[in-house]
Structure 1
Amino acid sequence: MSTAENTTDPSVHRPGRPEDLPAAPVLWARWGLLAGLLSTREREAEREIHRAGYWMASGRDDTLRFYDGGASWWALRRAGDGRYVLYGEDESSEVKWQEEAIDVLGGAPDWLPLELLRDLVESYMIGCVYWYEDGAWARAPYPAGLADDGLDCGMSRLFTTGRAADEVEPWMDHETADPDAEVDPEAAARLLTDAVSGSVGEEAVRAFLVDAGLAEEEIPGALVTLRRTGLLAE
């Protein structure tokens, strides 16, 4: 995977606009790297309903997930042929509380997992849906009065290299890592940049995790997750 990266700090609109999002392969690379770096055997054994942080969906190599442990959950799914769909909810979203319902699937292409998304909509579990095709994001139209769809509070943590690097330390599993070790944000940023450019290497990942204090026996699992994302070669 190799995609040009915009490392500037974007001004994110509320409600979100398609142009606020980084290119989907960039978002996948950042998210996927975090899923790998933060993978441990204990976390991989958890039921997804109880899991928090960044991870690759159980039994699915096409879906990355995030849950902040409170009121923000998201998923990014690859649909093949350069297509992706981002969906989820942050408590800041006002979409499902509108007096006149907003159809978040309005204008959506038929390659989306529509049955899944409709079930989530009907269960009042979705704040927004964005889809990516032909190198551009899109979403359903919103009414003029909508203040927020949750994209900023929910996903802007991955919109720049620096913000994504800052996500590593808070989500490290300190029960399986040396509590006295520290995560180097500059090293994390280098790995993220390499992931986006398609040049992340196993030795660099291993060295980062050792320096971050992760137990040696946990590292193979992290590498397996990174291979599942496609960021590391098989």
Structure 2
Amino acid sequence: MHTPSRPEDLEHPELLWARAVTMAMVDTACSTNTEFALDGDGVWCHTTGAGGWWRLTVLDGGRAVFCGQDPDGSHTHVGGEQIDFLAGGPDWLPWELLRDDAAGNLFGFVYWWEDGAWHRIPYPDQVREDGLEGAAAWVGADEAEYLGLTVSSFDVPSAMERGLTEAIARFGALARERKADAAAVAALLAAAHTEGRPAPRLDAAIDFATRAGILA
């Protein structure tokens, strides 16, 4: 990624949705205290560590918004004041939601997808990093970060990690095409099951994937 990050650092919203939903689905199935959520505002990760967060919202008409913050990497104050990430934003943005975020000083970055490309405000020269890479390196072209984060949600021996990574990649390809089904979810979770450990909750995973719209 560039420093500070640029719109071209983010992949297509459909790919990001598949990645985000897969990570969230797996964590929901495997964790008793997941940091992910899915609601009418999109897919959220409420903490990426040290209070960081991100949210992906996909809207009608092929539009999307990706926003969040990395407290350690979002250096976006100029003259002691937070820059206005919403200045000049299009009228279709979910303004009420975003203004609430801005009022809470929660932004390190705000990107929106329109007309086949990601956009953001022009950053002042003093902005040296917006924290996108720290909060969500998985939005870039390299799938390694996304696969690593998803594998980490499973409690598996290191000897199983390669096979599990391959299973996640296969599921992600189906999710991107909206061709995944309950059997594909079950196969992914089965790849992580080890004797003597609680099995991931298949019903929770299927429910999440269904609500997110990635199942055929």
Q: Are 2:13 and 1:27 equivalent residues in the alignment?
A: no
**Higher alpha-carbon deviation: 94-103 or 191-200:** 94-103
Contact 2:31/2:153 (8 A) holds in 1: no
Distance in 1 separating the partners of 2:153 and 2:25: 12
Q: Are 2:177 and 1:197 equivalent residues in the alignment?
A: yes
**The one of 100, 118, 138 aligned to 2:99:** 118
Alignment of 1:12-91 (within 5 A): 12-40=1-29, 43=32, 51-52=34-35, 55-57=36-38, 60-66=39-45, 67-91=47-71
Q: How many residues are aligned here?
A: 208
How much does 1:197 deviate?
2.9
Contact 2:13/2:58 (8 A) holds in 1: no
> TM-score by structure 2 length?
0.85
SS of alignment partner, residue 19 of structure 1: helix
**The one of 120, 124, 135 aligned to 2:116:** 135
How much does 1:63 deviate?
0.8
**The one of 121, 142, 145 aligned to 1:163:** 145
State the Cα RMSD in Å. 2.4
Instruction: Show structure 2 runs of 5+ residues with no match.
Output: none
Instruction: Show structure 1 runs of 5+ residues with no match.
Output: 1-11
Contact 2:18/2:175 (8 A) holds in 1: yes
> Structure 1 pair 39/86, CA: closer, same or farther in 2 (3 Å)?
same
**The one of 212, 222, 233 aligned to 2:192:** 212
Distance in 1 separating the partners of 2:128 and 2:160: 39
How much does 1:139 deviate?
0.7
Identity %: 34
**Higher alpha-carbon deviation: 212-221 or 152-161:** 212-221
> TM-score by structure 1 length?
0.79
